[in-house]
Amino acid sequence: MYYKGVNLLPTIKEKQIKQYSTFNKKLLKYSLWILFIIIINLLSYIPVSIQKVKLANLQKVKKELLANIKNQKEKYIKYHNLAFRINLLENIKRSRFYLSQLVHIVDNTTYPSVATQYTIGKNGHVVIGLKTDSFIKASVSWHKLLTKQELFKTLNLSSFSNQKGTIPFILKGEVNIKFIQNSSND
């Protein structure tokens, strides 16, 4: 048994089919235009976003470089501080003056006499106090020191006296500091 069905949908006329077809064509055309505009916008946005990513990477590299430069600057300052200190110490070492060098030279030169006093000023002025048991030994000691012309620029007898068998005498003069510095650096 077949039932005959009733068509509840109205029949479509040719004019209506044409109208739907033109509407669909227009809709498709507008959809394609919208899709085209969206694609163009996306294509214009992609290079901008790529440029933003590149810019962010470059800024990150810039930050790292600036930190590296700051670190290098600190190292540079530390290096120059160290180099300055080393240079300063070398200058001090070259210009230092050892009283012990002068004492050693005077003690070895004035054997019969015994040195009792040494006074040295910054500019090389020296006062040497010596003691011996005779005037002849005192003059011999003074003469021996005078023969050390590279050591003493000038050396004069300042005073002498006779005290209970000992003869103290004082010599004043100027020491050649460069000679002592050179002999101490050797």
Q: Is residue 45 part of a domain?
A: yes
Split at pLDDT 50, 70, 90, the class of 150 is: confident
Q: What is the pLDDT of residue 11?
A: 77
pLDDT in tens, 7-22: 777 777 888 778 888 8
The structural domain count of the chain equals 2
84 and 35, same domain (yes or no) = yes
pLDDT digits (tens, 9 = 90+) for 31-61: 999 999 999 988 888 888 889 999 999 999 9
8 within a domain of the structure (yes/no)? no
User: Tens of pLDDT along 81-129?
Assistant: 999 999 988 877 766 666 777 777 777 777 777 888 888 877 778 888 8
**Cα→Cα distances 71→31, 61, 66, 77, 84, Å:** 59, 15, 8, 10, 20
Give a yes or no: residue 131 inside a domain. yes
Domain end residue (candidates: 53, 79, 95):
95
Q: Are residues 68 and 135 in the same domain?
A: no
Q: Are 94 and 174 in contact (CB under 8 A)?
A: no
Domain of residue 32: give its range. 15-95
